Amino acid sequence: MHTTHIQIRDPFILRVDEEQLYYLYGTTDANPWTGKAQGFQAYRSHDLEEWEGPYSVFTPPPGFWADQQFWAPEVHLYQDAYYMLASFKAENKPRGVHILKAQTPLGPFVPISETPITPPDWECLDGTLHIDEDQQPWIVFSHEWTQISDGAICCMPLSIDLRHALAPPQYMFTASQSGWSVSNTGDVIVHSGENYVTDGPFLHRTLSGKLLLLWSSYSSSGYAIGLARSQNGHIHGPWIHDPQPLFAQDGGHGMLFYTWQDELMLTIHQPNTVSFERPCFFSMEEIGDSVHIVNRI
Protein backbone atom coordinates (compact mmCIF):
# COMPACT_ATOMS: atom_id res chain seq x y z
CA MET A 1 0.00 0.00 0.00
CA HIS A 2 1.15 3.53 -0.71
CA THR A 3 1.13 6.03 2.14
CA THR A 4 -1.75 7.92 0.51
CA HIS A 5 -3.98 4.83 0.75
CA ILE A 6 -3.58 4.26 4.50
CA GLN A 7 -6.33 5.61 6.74
CA ILE A 8 -4.79 6.20 10.15
CA ARG A 9 -4.91 8.71 12.98
CA ASP A 10 -2.18 9.50 15.49
CA PRO A 11 0.67 7.94 13.46
CA PHE A 12 3.74 6.68 15.29
CA ILE A 13 6.94 5.37 13.67
CA LEU A 14 9.24 2.78 15.22
CA ARG A 15 12.57 2.27 13.42
CA VAL A 16 13.88 -1.29 13.74
CA ASP A 17 17.52 -1.22 12.65
CA GLU A 18 18.23 -4.96 12.50
CA GLU A 19 15.34 -5.40 10.07
CA GLN A 20 15.94 -2.16 8.16
CA LEU A 21 12.23 -1.48 8.52
CA TYR A 22 9.99 1.31 9.74
CA TYR A 23 6.85 0.24 11.59
CA LEU A 24 3.77 2.48 11.47
CA TYR A 25 1.23 2.31 14.30
CA GLY A 26 -1.84 4.42 14.97
CA THR A 27 -5.58 4.56 15.50
CA THR A 28 -6.80 2.18 12.80
CA ASP A 29 -10.47 1.36 13.44
CA ALA A 30 -12.56 2.64 10.53
CA ASN A 31 -14.65 4.71 12.94
CA PRO A 32 -12.72 5.16 16.18
CA TRP A 33 -15.41 7.29 17.83
CA THR A 34 -18.45 5.01 18.04
CA GLY A 35 -19.24 1.31 18.27
CA LYS A 36 -17.21 -1.60 19.50
CA ALA A 37 -13.47 -1.23 19.07
CA GLN A 38 -11.58 -3.90 17.12
CA GLY A 39 -7.94 -3.37 18.05
CA PHE A 40 -4.79 -1.98 16.43
CA GLN A 41 -3.14 -2.70 13.10
CA ALA A 42 0.37 -1.84 11.92
CA TYR A 43 2.28 -1.45 8.67
CA ARG A 44 5.96 -1.77 7.79
CA SER A 45 8.11 -0.20 5.11
CA HIS A 46 11.69 0.20 3.88
CA ASP A 47 11.17 3.71 2.51
CA LEU A 48 8.18 5.38 4.23
CA GLU A 49 6.29 5.31 0.92
CA GLU A 50 5.29 1.71 0.14
CA TRP A 51 3.94 -0.34 3.04
CA GLU A 52 3.26 -3.98 3.81
CA GLY A 53 0.18 -4.77 5.87
CA PRO A 54 -2.00 -4.20 7.68
CA TYR A 55 -0.94 -6.62 10.41
CA SER A 56 -3.09 -7.12 13.49
CA VAL A 57 -0.90 -6.30 16.52
CA PHE A 58 -3.49 -6.04 19.29
CA THR A 59 -6.90 -7.63 19.78
CA PRO A 60 -8.52 -7.22 23.20
CA PRO A 61 -8.20 -10.45 25.19
CA PRO A 62 -11.19 -11.97 27.01
CA GLY A 63 -12.00 -9.93 30.09
CA PHE A 64 -10.16 -6.80 28.94
CA TRP A 65 -11.76 -3.82 30.68
CA ALA A 66 -12.24 -1.60 27.60
CA ASP A 67 -14.36 -2.11 24.50
CA GLN A 68 -14.49 1.26 22.73
CA GLN A 69 -12.32 4.11 21.43
CA PHE A 70 -8.96 2.36 21.11
CA TRP A 71 -6.68 5.30 20.28
CA ALA A 72 -3.10 6.42 19.65
CA PRO A 73 -0.80 3.42 20.22
CA GLU A 74 2.90 4.18 20.56
CA VAL A 75 5.51 1.41 20.54
CA HIS A 76 8.92 1.80 22.19
CA LEU A 77 11.86 -0.59 22.45
CA TYR A 78 12.68 -0.71 26.15
CA GLN A 79 14.72 -3.28 28.08
CA ASP A 80 14.81 -5.75 25.16
CA ALA A 81 11.04 -5.80 24.66
CA TYR A 82 8.47 -3.71 22.80
CA TYR A 83 6.05 -1.68 24.91
CA MET A 84 2.83 -0.17 23.62
CA LEU A 85 1.12 2.75 25.35
CA ALA A 86 -2.44 3.30 24.13
CA SER A 87 -5.74 4.90 25.16
CA PHE A 88 -8.87 2.89 25.92
CA LYS A 89 -12.44 3.58 27.03
CA ALA A 90 -15.44 1.68 28.40
CA GLU A 91 -18.99 2.65 29.28
CA ASN A 92 -19.15 4.33 32.69
CA LYS A 93 -15.37 4.14 33.10
CA PRO A 94 -12.88 6.99 32.57
CA ARG A 95 -10.60 6.80 29.57
CA GLY A 96 -7.14 5.58 30.55
CA VAL A 97 -3.70 4.81 29.15
CA HIS A 98 -2.83 1.11 29.37
CA ILE A 99 0.65 -0.35 28.79
CA LEU A 100 1.09 -3.55 26.78
CA LYS A 101 4.14 -5.64 25.91
CA ALA A 102 5.37 -7.89 23.08
CA GLN A 103 8.60 -9.56 22.02
CA THR A 104 8.34 -8.43 18.39
CA PRO A 105 7.18 -5.20 16.73
CA LEU A 106 4.14 -7.01 15.30
CA GLY A 107 3.08 -8.38 18.67
CA PRO A 108 0.78 -9.75 19.73
CA PHE A 109 0.76 -7.08 22.41
CA VAL A 110 -0.69 -8.11 25.78
CA PRO A 111 -1.48 -5.94 28.82
CA ILE A 112 1.15 -5.96 31.57
CA SER A 113 -1.43 -5.09 34.24
CA GLU A 114 -5.17 -5.40 34.83
CA THR A 115 -5.84 -1.67 34.95
CA PRO A 116 -4.59 1.48 33.20
CA ILE A 117 -1.42 3.14 34.44
CA THR A 118 -3.15 6.56 34.62
CA PRO A 119 -5.24 7.52 37.69
CA PRO A 120 -8.50 5.54 37.84
CA ASP A 121 -10.68 8.62 38.37
CA TRP A 122 -9.05 10.79 35.69
CA GLU A 123 -10.04 11.05 32.03
CA CYS A 124 -6.66 10.55 30.29
CA LEU A 125 -5.31 9.81 26.85
CA ASP A 126 -2.25 9.75 24.59
CA GLY A 127 0.51 8.42 26.82
CA THR A 128 4.09 8.61 25.63
CA LEU A 129 7.20 7.07 27.20
CA HIS A 130 10.14 9.26 28.21
CA ILE A 131 13.42 7.99 29.66
CA ASP A 132 15.28 10.79 31.43
CA GLU A 133 19.01 11.37 31.83
CA ASP A 134 19.03 9.15 34.94
CA GLN A 135 17.32 6.29 33.05
CA GLN A 136 14.12 6.90 35.00
CA PRO A 137 11.03 6.06 32.91
CA TRP A 138 8.15 8.53 32.82
CA ILE A 139 4.75 8.54 31.22
CA VAL A 140 3.65 11.87 29.78
CA PHE A 141 -0.05 12.11 28.96
CA SER A 142 -3.06 14.40 28.59
CA HIS A 143 -5.58 15.03 31.34
CA GLU A 144 -8.61 15.59 29.17
CA TRP A 145 -10.54 18.81 28.78
CA THR A 146 -13.70 16.68 29.00
CA GLN A 147 -13.09 16.50 32.74
CA ILE A 148 -11.17 19.69 33.58
CA SER A 149 -12.12 22.12 30.73
CA ASP A 150 -8.56 23.45 30.34
CA GLY A 151 -6.78 20.31 29.16
CA ALA A 152 -3.38 19.60 30.71
CA ILE A 153 -0.17 17.77 29.87
CA CYS A 154 1.01 15.73 32.85
CA CYS A 155 3.99 13.56 33.79
CA MET A 156 4.34 10.67 36.19
CA PRO A 157 7.39 8.53 37.11
CA LEU A 158 7.07 4.79 36.58
CA SER A 159 8.69 1.70 38.02
CA ILE A 160 11.49 0.21 35.94
CA ASP A 161 9.17 -2.55 34.69
CA LEU A 162 6.52 0.11 33.77
CA ARG A 163 3.88 -1.66 35.85
CA HIS A 164 3.38 0.93 38.59
CA ALA A 165 3.39 4.68 39.13
CA LEU A 166 5.99 5.82 41.66
CA ALA A 167 4.26 9.10 42.49
CA PRO A 168 1.06 10.99 41.66
CA PRO A 169 0.95 12.81 38.31
CA GLN A 170 2.20 16.38 38.08
CA TYR A 171 0.87 19.09 35.77
CA MET A 172 3.44 20.34 33.26
CA PHE A 173 1.13 22.98 31.73
CA THR A 174 -2.43 23.56 30.58
CA ALA A 175 -3.47 24.31 27.01
CA SER A 176 -4.51 27.91 27.69
CA GLN A 177 -1.01 28.72 29.00
CA SER A 178 0.42 28.23 25.51
CA GLY A 179 -0.90 31.53 24.16
CA TRP A 180 -1.99 29.99 20.84
CA SER A 181 -4.54 27.33 21.85
CA VAL A 182 -8.15 28.52 21.47
CA SER A 183 -11.37 27.39 23.07
CA ASN A 184 -12.37 24.83 20.45
CA THR A 185 -12.99 21.11 20.72
CA GLY A 186 -13.96 20.41 17.14
CA ASP A 187 -17.52 19.15 16.98
CA VAL A 188 -17.41 17.52 20.44
CA ILE A 189 -19.55 19.16 23.12
CA VAL A 190 -19.32 17.88 26.69
CA HIS A 191 -20.03 20.95 28.82
CA SER A 192 -20.49 24.66 28.21
CA GLY A 193 -17.90 27.35 28.72
CA GLU A 194 -14.32 27.60 27.53
CA ASN A 195 -12.69 24.25 26.77
CA TYR A 196 -9.10 23.77 25.59
CA VAL A 197 -7.80 20.52 24.10
CA THR A 198 -4.48 18.86 24.86
CA ASP A 199 -3.46 15.66 23.11
CA GLY A 200 -0.58 13.87 21.42
CA PRO A 201 2.42 14.78 23.62
CA PHE A 202 5.83 13.64 22.36
CA LEU A 203 9.29 14.49 23.77
CA HIS A 204 12.47 15.07 21.79
CA ARG A 205 16.00 15.79 23.03
CA THR A 206 17.91 18.05 20.63
CA LEU A 207 21.55 17.53 19.74
CA SER A 208 22.31 20.57 21.89
CA GLY A 209 20.65 18.87 24.87
CA LYS A 210 17.38 20.84 25.01
CA LEU A 211 14.19 18.95 25.85
CA LEU A 212 11.32 19.73 23.48
CA LEU A 213 7.67 18.73 23.68
CA LEU A 214 5.30 18.46 20.74
CA TRP A 215 1.58 18.49 21.56
CA SER A 216 -1.67 19.19 19.76
CA SER A 217 -4.66 21.45 20.28
CA TYR A 218 -6.88 23.77 18.25
CA SER A 219 -5.50 27.06 16.98
CA SER A 220 -7.36 29.89 15.29
CA SER A 221 -6.92 28.02 11.99
CA GLY A 222 -7.91 24.55 13.22
CA TYR A 223 -6.19 21.44 14.56
CA ALA A 224 -2.49 22.18 15.11
CA ILE A 225 0.80 21.12 16.72
CA GLY A 226 2.57 23.29 19.25
CA LEU A 227 6.17 23.28 20.42
CA ALA A 228 7.31 23.82 24.00
CA ARG A 229 10.78 23.60 25.53
CA SER A 230 11.90 22.87 29.05
CA GLN A 231 13.75 25.84 30.43
CA ASN A 232 16.02 23.63 32.57
CA GLY A 233 16.18 20.54 30.32
CA HIS A 234 14.16 18.40 32.73
CA ILE A 235 10.66 17.04 32.43
CA HIS A 236 9.39 19.25 35.27
CA GLY A 237 10.21 22.38 33.29
CA PRO A 238 9.12 25.14 33.51
CA TRP A 239 7.89 24.84 29.94
CA ILE A 240 8.12 27.78 27.55
CA HIS A 241 5.84 27.80 24.49
CA ASP A 242 6.53 29.04 21.00
CA PRO A 243 3.95 31.79 20.36
CA GLN A 244 2.81 30.20 17.11
CA PRO A 245 2.11 26.53 16.31
CA LEU A 246 4.73 24.42 14.56
CA PHE A 247 2.02 23.24 12.15
CA ALA A 248 -1.51 24.67 11.85
CA GLN A 249 -3.05 23.29 8.65
CA ASP A 250 -5.73 20.91 9.98
CA GLY A 251 -3.27 18.23 11.04
CA GLY A 252 -1.70 17.06 14.25
CA HIS A 253 -0.80 14.41 16.80
CA GLY A 254 2.81 14.38 15.65
CA MET A 255 6.04 12.65 16.59
CA LEU A 256 9.68 12.96 15.56
CA PHE A 257 12.07 10.22 14.47
CA TYR A 258 15.38 9.82 12.65
CA THR A 259 15.77 7.96 9.37
CA TRP A 260 18.73 5.66 8.72
CA GLN A 261 20.33 8.64 6.97
CA ASP A 262 20.08 10.56 10.29
CA GLU A 263 17.46 12.88 8.83
CA LEU A 264 14.98 14.18 11.39
CA MET A 265 11.38 13.58 10.32
CA LEU A 266 7.95 14.56 11.59
CA THR A 267 4.85 12.45 11.03
CA ILE A 268 1.28 13.64 11.64
CA HIS A 269 -2.20 12.78 10.43
CA GLN A 270 -3.94 15.17 8.07
CA PRO A 271 -6.71 16.17 7.58
CA ASN A 272 -8.32 15.82 10.99
CA THR A 273 -11.46 14.28 9.49
CA VAL A 274 -12.59 10.69 10.05
CA SER A 275 -12.13 8.43 7.00
CA PHE A 276 -9.98 11.02 5.20
CA GLU A 277 -6.97 11.20 7.55
CA ARG A 278 -3.64 9.99 6.18
CA PRO A 279 -0.09 9.78 7.57
CA CYS A 280 2.04 12.68 6.36
CA PHE A 281 5.82 13.03 6.59
CA PHE A 282 7.94 16.18 6.76
CA SER A 283 11.68 16.75 6.69
CA MET A 284 12.78 18.70 9.73
CA GLU A 285 15.72 20.95 10.58
CA GLU A 286 17.11 21.26 14.08
CA ILE A 287 18.58 24.66 14.83
CA GLY A 288 19.83 25.36 18.33
CA ASP A 289 17.05 24.58 20.76
CA SER A 290 14.26 24.27 18.20
CA VAL A 291 13.03 22.31 15.19
CA HIS A 292 11.53 23.63 11.96
CA ILE A 293 9.65 22.06 9.06
CA VAL A 294 11.71 22.08 5.86
CA ASN A 295 9.38 20.41 3.40
CA ARG A 296 6.76 17.71 3.01
CA ILE A 297 7.86 14.43 1.41
- Summarize pLDDT for 40-63 with one digit per residue, the tens: 999 999 999 999 999 999 999 999
Distance CA 162, CA 94 (A): 21
For 12-34, the pLDDT digits (tens) are 999 999 999 999 999 999 999 99
Residue 6 CB coordination number (10 Å): 20
Is 0.95 surpassed by the pTM of this model? yes
What is the residue-level pLDDT of the chain in tens, covering all 297 positions? 999 999 999 999 999 999 999 999 999 999 999 999 999 999 999 999 999 999 999 999 999 999 999 999 999 999 999 999 999 999 999 999 999 999 999 999 999 999 999 999 999 999 999 999 999 999 999 999 999 999 999 999 999 999 999 999 999 999 999 999 999 998 888 888 899 999 999 999 999 999 999 999 999 999 999 999 999 999 999 999 999 999 999 999 999 999 999 999 999 999 999 899 999 999 999 998 899 999 999
CB 71 within 8 A of CB 125: yes
